[in-house]
């Protein structure tokens, strides 16, 4: 069966066709569509409150022998890094694949970290697909490898691979693999990572990586094009597709499984060409490993470490030309929608001269004119705690202006801990946290979250977590719920009063996202 599919859709189809029993994740561009598509294709999928929860739920499922998939964007793996590093030791009886969707060039992210580093750092095998067909084929291969070695596998995608549509052959659609029968087998030596068992597990994991490198030498995941003996390019991921267009005359070694690397294959290739250049987006991850093998290869110039690569940039990279590209006419930047419930909230914050510790979501656009009302943004959940740090060290008059602004989904992701910190280590001037609650995870395309009352499929009813009950239960002094669009004056008055006090206060600015309302109306909901 041939069809046009994005990389994300291809992964969803592959997960369906190779018997994945459970997909867990937290939305994040460019990964968000995977679980939606998996669910639409009949797979069992859930949005967890954050990536750590998602990976841990997937681990639990894989402990029972089921195949499980965890999906997240690159920065999400930072949140899930704790279970990731230790499950690398113990592994799971069922196949476990962790998808990291990286965002070189930061189309929709706060950094462009290269998560291939995680594979090396944690000792987890990694695949890097370069198009939708490889997404499909390699996900199936990743589960086979995971099953064989009881090791988690990191499946590293990038924005262009996730979102580009290509023609794919859904090879196993007619013959999908059945889900495995599950059972619990007591095996503490493998599954309980106390030091005595973890020491053994670490040795086993390193030994398995050597075996996997041997498998990689069989070239199942290698594409080798022997052409010029002058120039050879070693590459992976989307860069491979650009290389084919940019330097058609070059010999190319394209690696699909990029950790652990096939040393002999690389050494043989490098020996055949006069100049062996590494073309990789982001960090010099391949370069450093290949140099450490004692193989003389050439790194790209520093300029090409930044942003996405493309055909034009690779032509310059090969020519050793690191002059920056001429800037084009600036496009129109994104903005808060007309009718967005966050607009009035930011107008008031701007007019009161607040120092705003911001967070990750649509509302980060409050930094743009005409609001100019966000003063910091670090990572998911940081608004609350960064604001507290400012309160602790600023002189009183300025400390009183500090407000933390966080969205509903972000609050449930990693904001709750910040509220605990707030009531435990109270700043002398207290603090004010505004939860901008638009009843959906909007920025990433309107996904459900634990407070919306609906499961991932937008249909199945779920328990709706109450934000006000959470913060009341933690012990904040005041909780107000205000629709800032219709009660703008009241919001300004309450905010002024809370800022003047030494209380620890939460204001929930509640009004549904207009995009979500339109989407739900289209789906016949509400």
Q: Which 343-402 residues touch other proteins, going by CB under 8 A?
A: 362, 365
**Smallest distance from the beta carbon of 4 to other proteins, in angstroms?**
5
Three-state DSSP class for 356? Answer: strand
Q: Which lies closer to other proteins via its Cβ, residue 31 or residue 146?
A: 31
Q: Residue 205 to residues 57, 97, 199, 208, 211: CA-CA distances in angstroms?
A: 22, 16, 10, 5, 10
How far apart are alpha carbons 45 and 69 in whole angstroms? Answer: 9
**Smallest distance from the beta carbon of 23 to other proteins, in angstroms?**
20
Sequential DSSP letters for 79-127: HTHHHHHHHHHH--SS-EEEEEEE-TT-SSSS----THHHHHHHT--EE
Q: How many CB atoms lie within 10 A of CB 108?
A: 14
Q: Which 164-203 residues touch other proteins, going by CB under 8 A?
A: 164-167
How far apart are alpha carbons 70 and 348 in whole angstroms? Answer: 40
310 near other proteins (CB under 8 A): yes
Candidate segments 54-62, 158-166, 471-479, 486-494, binder of other proteins by CB under 8 A: 158-166
**Smallest distance from the beta carbon of 258 to other proteins, in angstroms?**
19
Total interface residues for other proteins by CB under 8 A: 40
The number of CA neighbours under 13 Å toward the Cβ of 503 is: 18
Residue 50 tokens read as: 């954050």
**Smallest distance from the beta carbon of 470 to other proteins, in angstroms?**
28
504 near other proteins (CB under 8 A): no
Residue 350 tokens read as: 């701007």
Q: Which 13-42 residues touch other proteins, going by CB under 8 A?
A: 29-30
What would the x/- binding string for other proteins be over residues 438 to 477, using CB under 8 A? -----xxx--------------------------------
**Smallest distance from the beta carbon of 244 to other proteins, in angstroms?**
4
**Smallest distance from the beta carbon of 315 to other proteins, in angstroms?**
8
CB-based contact 279:253 (threshold 8 Å) = no
CB-based contact 47:458 (threshold 8 Å) = no
How far apart are alpha carbons 196 and 389 in whole angstroms? Answer: 39
Q: Tell me which H or E stretch contains 407.
A: strand 402-407
Q: Which of 144, 245, 288, 321 binds other proteins (CB under 8 A)?
A: 245
Three-state DSSP class for 1? Answer: coil
Q: Which of 181, 329, 397, 428 binds other proteins (CB under 8 A)?
A: 329
CB-based contact 46:71 (threshold 8 Å) = no
4 near other proteins (CB under 8 A): yes
Q: Which lies closer to other proteins via its Cβ, residue 38 or residue 363?
A: 363
**Smallest distance from the beta carbon of 393 to other proteins, in angstroms?**
33
**Smallest distance from the beta carbon of 99 to other proteins, in angstroms?**
16
233 near other proteins (CB under 8 A): no
Q: Which residues here bind other proteins, judged by CB under 8 A?
A: 3-4, 29-30, 107-108, 131, 159-160, 163-167, 238, 241-242, 244-246, 310-312, 325, 328-338, 362, 365, 443-445
């Amino acid at each position: 069966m041939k069809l046009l599919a994005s990389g994300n859709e291809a992964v969803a189809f592959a997960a369906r066709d190779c018997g994945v029993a459970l997909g867990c994740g937290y939305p994040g561009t460019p990964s968000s569509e995977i679980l939606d598509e998996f669910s639409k294709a009949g797979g069992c999928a859930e949005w967890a409150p954050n990536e750590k929860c998602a990976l841990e739920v997937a681990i639990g499922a894989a402990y029972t022998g089921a195949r499980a998939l965890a999906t997240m964007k690159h920065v999400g793996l930072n949140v899930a890094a704790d279970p990731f590093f230790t499950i690398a030791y113990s592994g799971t009886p069922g196949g476990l694949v962790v998808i990291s969707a990286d965002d070189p060039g930061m189309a929709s992210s706060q950094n462009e970290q290269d998560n291939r580093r995680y594979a090396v750092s944690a000792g987890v095998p990694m695949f890097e697909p370069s198009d939708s067909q490889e997404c499909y084929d390699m996900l199936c291969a990743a589960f086979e490898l995971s099953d064989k070695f009881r090791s988690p596998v990191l499946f590293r995608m990038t924005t262009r691979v996730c979102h580009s549509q290509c023609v794919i052959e859904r090879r196993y659609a007619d013959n999908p693999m059945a889900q495995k029968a599950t059972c619990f087998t007591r095996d503490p030596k493998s599954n309980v990572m106390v030091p005595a068992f973890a020491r053994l597990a670490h040795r086993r994991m390193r030994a398995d990586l050597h075996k996997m490198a041997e498998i990689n030498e069989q070239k199942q995941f290698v594409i080798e094009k022997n052409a010029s003996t002058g120039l050879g390019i070693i590459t992976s991921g989307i860069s491979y597709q650009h290389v084919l267009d940019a330097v058609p005359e070059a010999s190319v070694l394209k690696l699909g499984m990029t950790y652990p690397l096939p040393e002999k294959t690389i050494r043989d290739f490098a020996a055949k060409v006069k100049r062996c250049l590494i073309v990789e987006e982001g960090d010099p991850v391949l370069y450093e490993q290949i140099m450490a093998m004692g193989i003389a290869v050439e790194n790209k110039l520093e300029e090409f470490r930044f942003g996405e690569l493309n055909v034009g940039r690779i032509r310059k990279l090969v020519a050793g030309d690191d002059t920056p590209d001429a800037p084009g006419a600036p496009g129109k930047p994104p903005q808060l929608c007309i009718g967005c419930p966050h607009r009035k909230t930011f107008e008031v914050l701007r007019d009161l001269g607040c120092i705003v510790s911001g967070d990750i979501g649509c509302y980060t656009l409050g930094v743009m004119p005409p609001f100019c009302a966000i003063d910091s943004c670090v990572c998911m959940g940081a608004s609350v705690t960064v604001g507290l740090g400012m309160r602790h060290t600023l002189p009183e008059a300025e400390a009183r202006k500090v407000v933390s602004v966080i969205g509903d989904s972000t609050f449930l992701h990693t904001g709750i801990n910040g509220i605990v910190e707030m009531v435990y280590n109270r700043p002398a001037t207290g603090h004010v946290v505004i939860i901008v609650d638009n009843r959906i995870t909007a920025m990433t395309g309107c996904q459900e979250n634990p407070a919306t009352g609906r499961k991932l499929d937008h249909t199945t009813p779920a328990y709706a977590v109450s934000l006000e009950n959470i913060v009341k239960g933690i012990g904040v002094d005041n909780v107000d719920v205000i629709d800032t669009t219709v009660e703008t004056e009241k919001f300004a008055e309450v905010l002024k009063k809370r800022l003047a006090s030494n209380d620890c206060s939460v204001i929930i600015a509640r009004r549904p996202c207009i995009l979500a309302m339109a989407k739900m109306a289209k789906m016949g909901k509400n």
